[in-house]
Amino acid sequence: MRCNLLFHDFPEEKSPAARKSEDCAKLVLDYLNDKLEIARAHENIKIERAHRLGAKYDFRKSRQVVVMLNHYHYKLLVKQKAQEARKKYYDSINSTSGVKVPQSAGAEKSQTCGDLPPETSLAYGEPMDDVPPTEPTKPMISVSDKFPKSIQARRKILLTVMVSAKKDGKAAYLSYDKLYIDNRMYTVDTVHKADYSIS
């Protein structure tokens, strides 16, 4: 699962025929190119597999899309761009309102891409003059890692502690199956030492 990612909140088609013919790879690549502004995403990023999680459709919520990329560099690039889009939105809100808007309690520490291969270089357009500012749009699609069930179970335990620590104003984030609070590392076996309830 090293190269797997989960995409949350892609709307689903209402008709069974449309859902059956859905091209999840194209759906994701369109999003990477158009919304995350990854230049030439359709040519540069290769998707091995992409599909909805869960066989049963539920009209009340959209099923996640799991994607297997063919290179770990692409995974890091996508995560970085998704985090940049989220940060850009909150920075815009804070700068216009003067009130700091907290990001999601579940947001994890960002990972940098390091040295990316040439084909993953990004293209940015030049700013345009005389264009009125537009209201910032909150990213509707979120991206996260796809973990094995055993790791998901550990993260679920640590997540409750992380949220409590953030509410107390502490720097806290999850990294795989470890929780860091004010630069101290905790696991499911040691998190009780952080003085937070895990019930």
The confidence score (pLDDT) of residue 113 equals: 43
Radius of gyration, CA atoms only, the chain: 19
Contacts 24+ apart (CB under 8 A), 187-195: 187/154, 187/158, 188/154, 188/157, 188/158, 191/157, 191/158, 191/161, 194/161, 194/165
Strands in the chain per DSSP E: 4-8, 47-52, 65-69, 142-145, 172-175, 178-181, 184-186
Q: In the predicted model, what is the mean pLDDT of the chain?
A: 81
Stated pTM of the model: 0.63
What's the rounded Cα separation, in Å, for the pair 155 and 161?
10
Strand partners, 52: 65
The confidence score (pLDDT) of residue 7 equals: 95
The confidence score (pLDDT) of residue 136 equals: 59
The confidence score (pLDDT) of residue 111 equals: 43
Nearest alpha carbon to residue 62 among 116, 7, 118, 110: 7
What's the rounded Cα separation, in Å, for the pair 79 and 63?
20
Low-confidence ranges of the chain (pLDDT < 50): 105-128
